[in-house]
């Protein structure tokens, strides 16, 4: 059965009976007969063929998609059975957001490929979240609670969000003493996800408040928001990983230190079929170890591991 799936997948990939025959080391008529036998057994036509080209029928498209899925699961099963001896190798496709991907993940990838030269990594950065089930990526790095879907979620690092402002802004406008004071301050708002725009959820222990803030500046890019904060344009609510260097250098100051935003922990999502793939497993082990110190960095003290 799996040989028929592999045969049809290769045939569709090659795009012609002649090229498939050359790849398989068979004659053109032999490939044609094998295809006819497959279609006869299934009772449907999988390809439409002319002298110049061939194309998939709707049934052929379905058979191809399921063939590739099943073959992928078989490959994953074989990797599972040999994982104790398997060396990580092959292409690993990763998706992450722009800021975290460039500043944190890219340096980690650079170190990883030195340790595992048999792994090729394709890192794609973008603000649009990868949907569960997307076959274009092996691993997607996401912030916040993972979705309920047929994916495996592994926590890479804790990530807390705090309120920050530049010393210049605080010298000019004063420091808020209570979350309700934020309504009279300039705030820099990041438009992302499905949360209410201009409303910050702040918590101190078990006490939480939804605070409506006003903003002259808003953006969908976290690094832009941090730059505006450094320029003294207002108060921002931002992740510790994105502000730790500025906080250590004194370019940003944490305000209302007993209050923090809702957690946005960092997860790696990947399909269940790759659960024990050597390249996925080793890469995630590597990331978890690299970011291990970050998971306790939620108090904003001077000794920040980011």
Which residues is 88 bridged to in the sheet? none
Q: pLDDT over 90 for what percent of the chain?
A: 30
The pLDDT tens digits for 13-39 are: 888 888 888 888 888 888 888 888 888
In this structure, the number of other CB atoms found within 10 A of the CB of residue 53 comes to: 9
Measured between alpha carbons, how far apart are the two ends of the chain, in Å? 51
Per-residue pLDDT at 81 exceeds 90 = no
In this structure, the number of other CB atoms found within 10 A of the CB of residue 241 comes to: 26
Query: Is the Cα torsion angle 136, 141, 142, 146 positive or negative in sign?
Result: positive
Question: Which distant-in-sequence residues (6+ apart) come within 8 Å of 159 by Cβ?
Answer: 143, 239, 240, 241, 263, 264, 265, 266, 294
Q: Among 131, 137, 13, which residue's Cα sits nearest to residue 67?
A: 13
Mean pLDDT for all residues in the chain: 83
Running DSSP on this structure, what letter comes out for residue 189? E
pTM of this prediction?
0.60
Per-residue pLDDT at 11 exceeds 90 = no
Which of 91-100, 184-193, 231-240 has the lowest average pLDDT? 184-193
CB distance 66 to 56 below 8 Å? no
Predicted local confidence at residue 52, as pLDDT:
66
Per-residue pLDDT at 301 exceeds 50 = no
The pLDDT tens digits for 200-235 are: 989 998 889 999 998 889 888 888 999 999 999 999
Q: pLDDT over 70 for what percent of the chain?
A: 84
The pLDDT tens digits for 131-184 are: 655 667 889 998 877 666 667 888 888 888 899 999 999 999 999 999 999 999
Who has greater pLDDT, 113 or 292?
A: 113
Which residues is 199 bridged to in the sheet? 212
Per-residue pLDDT at 193 exceeds 60 = no
The pLDDT tens digits for 268-296 are: 988 776 566 788 889 999 998 888 755 44
Q: Which two tokens stand for residue 167?
A: 């010393």
Predicted local confidence at residue 82, as pLDDT:
62
Radius of gyration of the chain (CA): 26
Per-residue pLDDT at 255 exceeds 80 = yes
């Amino acid at each position: 059965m799996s040989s028929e799936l592999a045969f049809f997948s290769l045939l569709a990939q090659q795009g012609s009976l002649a090229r498939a025959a050359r790849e398989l080391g068979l004659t053109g008529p032999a490939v044609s007969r094998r295809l006819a036998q497959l279609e006869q057994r299934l009772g449907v036509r999988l390809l439409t063929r002319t002298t110049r080209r061939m194309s998939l029928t709707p049934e052929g498209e379905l058979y191809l998609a399921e063939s590739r899925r099943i073959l992928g699961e078989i490959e994953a099963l074989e990797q599972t059975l040999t994982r104790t001896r398997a060396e990580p190798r092959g292409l690993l496709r990763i998706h992450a957001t722009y800021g975290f991907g460039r500043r944190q993940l890219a340096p980690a990838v650079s170190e990883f490929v030195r340790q595992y030269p048999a792994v090729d990594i394709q890192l794609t950065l973008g603000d649009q979240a990868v949907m569960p089930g997307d076959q274009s990526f092996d691993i997607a790095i996401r912030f916040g609670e993972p979705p309920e879907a047929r994916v495996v979620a592994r926590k890479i690092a804790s990530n807390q969000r705090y309120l920050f402002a530049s010393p210049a802004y605080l010298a000019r406008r004063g420091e808020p003493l209570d979350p309700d004071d934020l309504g009279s301050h300039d705030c820099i708002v990041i438009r992302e996800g499905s949360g209410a725009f201009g409303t910050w959820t702040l918590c101190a222990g078990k006490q939480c408040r939804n605070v409506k803030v006003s903003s002259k500046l808003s953006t969908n890019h976290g690094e832009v928001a941090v730059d505006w904060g450094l320029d003294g344009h207002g108060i921002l609510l931002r992740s510790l990983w994105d502000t730790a260097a500025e906080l250590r250098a004194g370019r940003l100051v944490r305000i209302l230190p007993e209050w923090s935003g809702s957690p946005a922990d960092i997860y790696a999502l990947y399909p269940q079929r790759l659960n024990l793939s050597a390249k996925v497993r080793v890469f995630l082990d590597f990331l978890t170890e690299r970011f291990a110190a970050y998971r306790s960095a939620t108090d904003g003290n001077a000794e920040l591991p980011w």
